């Protein structure tokens, strides 16, 4: 089947460069996926017929986080601590693994300017269509590039923090992952170049390099990081790289 694009109930041909790139990717890799245009952006259909399609909700997720921070101090958030937020200071962040924008949207909600990178053409298309549909003022702080992290690092903009969340098998998970993450893992797979991206990011000379890991997993590399640990996730922070 390859790529199937659906709009107003009809199957359409790729019209944008990103859609054509995804079609080529599906043909080369044998990936089957169905994207449907709903409410101004693409939604991806699940690999299981009894599950509804899903998309990236930028505006509503920003609002949800902002409402939460009205009741809970931002300074208590592990992710905020890991990227060095203190008082009014908001670092410029480069997110090397944007994925479904979960942490990227959190950075926006913190008030950060964010450069985000995603190499998988299916995920990139979801992000691009979601950004076109976003209206929240904070969404303007997100600069997205569909690119490979290693290639992007060779000409990355000046930032204060590099954030990296490589795809991994979570040893803490005892239940089945939610639909979005299960499908994401099925379609995208793992990151075999994690060590290469890790080494290249450390050479960029930023104030902080933050790596998201399962709480019980080993750190990447030999250097001992500063650790911010939660119930299932931890953030390994590498300082003094400038």
Which pLDDT does position 75 carry in this prediction? 82
Which pLDDT does position 215 carry in this prediction? 86
Which pLDDT does position 83 carry in this prediction? 97
Q: How many CB atoms lie within 10 A of CB 225?
A: 18
- Bridge partners (DSSP) of residue 119 are none
Which pLDDT does position 174 carry in this prediction? 45
Structural domain boundaries of the chain? 3-44, 58-239
| Alpha helix (H) residue ranges in 114-227 | 121-133, 149-153, 179-188, 194-202
Give CA–CA dist 85/232, Å, rounded.
Answer: 22
Which DSSP letter does residue 154 get? T
Query: Domain 58-239 belongs to what architecture?
Result: 3-Layer(aba) Sandwich (3.40)
Which pLDDT does position 169 carry in this prediction? 52
Tally the residues of the chain: 242
User: What residues in the chain have per-residue pLDDT under 70?
Assistant: 1, 168-191, 241-242
pTM value is 0.90
Torsion angles phi and psi, residue 63, rounded to 5:
-60, -40
Which pLDDT does position 180 carry in this prediction? 61
CB 80 within 8 A of CB 153: no
Query: What does the block give as tokens for 141?
Result: 């702080």
């Amino acid at each position: 089947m390859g790529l199937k694009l659906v709009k107003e109930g009809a199957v359409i041909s790729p019209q944008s460069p990103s859609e054509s790139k995804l079609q080529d990717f599906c043909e080369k890799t044998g990936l089957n996926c169905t994207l449907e245009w709903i409410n101004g952006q693409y939604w991806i259909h699940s690999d299981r017929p009894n599950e509804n399609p899903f998309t990236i909700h930028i505006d509503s997720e920003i609002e949800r986080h902002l409402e939460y921070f009205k009741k809970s101090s931002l300074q208590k958030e592990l992710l905020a601590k890991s990227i060095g937020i203190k008082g009014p200071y908001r670092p410029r962040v480069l997110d090397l693994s944007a994925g479904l924008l979960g942490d990227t949207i959190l950075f926006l909600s913190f008030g950060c300017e964010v450069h985000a990178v995603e190499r998988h053409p299916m995920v990139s298309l979801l992000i691009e269509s979601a950004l076109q549909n976003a209206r929240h003022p904070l969404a303007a702080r997100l600069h997205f590039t569909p690119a490979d992290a290693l290639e992007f690092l060779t000409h990355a903009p000046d930032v204060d923090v590099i954030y990296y969340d490589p795809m991994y098998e979570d040893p803490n998970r005892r239940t089945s992952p939610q639909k979005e993450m299960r499908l994401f893992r099925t379609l995208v797979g793992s990151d075999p170049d994690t060590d290469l991206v890790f080494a290249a990011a450390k050479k960029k000379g930023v104030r902080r390099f933050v790596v998201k890991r399962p709480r019980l997993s080993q750190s990447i590399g030999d250097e001992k990081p500063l650790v911010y640990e939660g119930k299932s996730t931890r953030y390994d922070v590498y300082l003094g790289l400038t």
